[in-house]
Amino acid sequence: MKRLRVILLFLLLGAIVNVAVAWGIASILTIEDTMSNDETIGMSVVEYETWNLSRYEAFGTQIFMSTRFKVHNEEEELLELTELWSEHPIENVKPSWGSMDVATELYRTLPGPPEHTMVQEIQMYEARGWPMHSLWCLRILLVHDGTGNNQNQASGFIAIPILFFEDLEPLVLPLYPIWTGFALNTIFYASLLWLIIPGPFVLRRFIRKRRGLCLKCGYDLRGVDHQACPECGEGIRKGNPA
Ligand SMILES: [Zn+2]
């Protein structure tokens, strides 16, 4: 039972480090950095009328972006990205981890622009985490020239705006887990902590046991016929090699 508790504790610590790393990357490496990064790879653009789909990658970061101009119409659902993704073989610009349901929900929270205005719509699926991507979020931005709000930005319930840098993007920390990546990262960091924190002690104990030394202080117990270590008083366990 004690061993199980220790394993669970390390997994919890691993999960915390995993989230901290993903959020650290999100706060250091902005969207703009990712897009202008020299390490940007695998960017591909699909032209679908005026619709651009792109993929950007940087350290611990993957961003899928959909940009288009459209005439806003209440009756016309803004979920055509799903259709586009399902109808066209564009796997390289489609996230394997994001959920379309989230986009639907997010659109419901957006105050809609006036009917029949020209809207620039940006959808951004963003994953963070290292060595695997473990958390993701979605941002939808509607830019229009109608009356009232010219810009509706939603990072919504899937991201935490902590700091606002003037009028720029809020710091967005992804919350949705990418389960495979989240599990593997958690195990990865838990193992790392396991090695770093108690590793040396476990190793020392193992070596002392093998050599027949006191587990606590390292006193040579071979040939000693006591119930306790004469050096430190630690009880001598049965099975200690004589
Ligand atoms: Zn001892």
Per-residue pLDDT of the chain (242 residues; tens, 9 = 90+): 788 998 999 999 999 999 999 999 988 887 777 777 655 555 555 554 567 778 888 899 998 888 877 776 655 554 466 666 666 656 667 788 877 777 777 777 766 666 677 777 788 888 999 999 999 988 887 777 655 454 545 444 444 555 444 444 567 788 889 999 999 999 999 999 988 887 778 888 889 888 888 888 888 888 877 778 888 888 776 554 44
Q: Are 117 and 72 in contact (CB under 8 A)?
A: yes
Rounded Cα–Cα distance for residues 18 and 12 (Å) = 10
Q: Are 74 and 115 in contact (CB under 8 A)?
A: yes
How many angstroms separate the alpha carbon of residue 201 from the centre of ligand 1? Answer: 15
- Does the N-terminal peptide bond of residue 230 adopt cis geometry, omega within 30 degrees of 0? no
- Does the N-terminal peptide bond of residue 113 adopt cis geometry, omega within 30 degrees of 0? no
How many angstroms separate the alpha carbon of residue 242 from the centre of ligand 1? Answer: 15
Whole-model pTM over 0.85: no
How many angstroms separate the alpha carbon of residue 195 from the centre of ligand 1? Answer: 25
How many angstroms separate the alpha carbon of residue 213 from the centre of ligand 1? Answer: 8
How many angstroms separate the alpha carbon of residue 227 from the centre of ligand 1? Answer: 11
pLDDT at 165: 46
Structure tokens belonging to residue 84 = 């586009």
How many angstroms separate the alpha carbon of residue 229 from the centre of ligand 1? Answer: 5
Structure tokens belonging to residue 19 = 């989230």
DSSP per-residue letters across 148-159: S-SEEEE-GGGB
Q: Tokens 């009917």 correspond to what residue?
A: 115
| Residues within 5 Å of ion ligand 1, judged at the Cβ atom | 214, 216-217, 219, 229, 231-232, 234
Residue count of the chain, please give it: 242
How many angstroms separate the alpha carbon of residue 221 from the centre of ligand 1? Answer: 8
How many angstroms separate the alpha carbon of residue 163 from the centre of ligand 1? Answer: 55
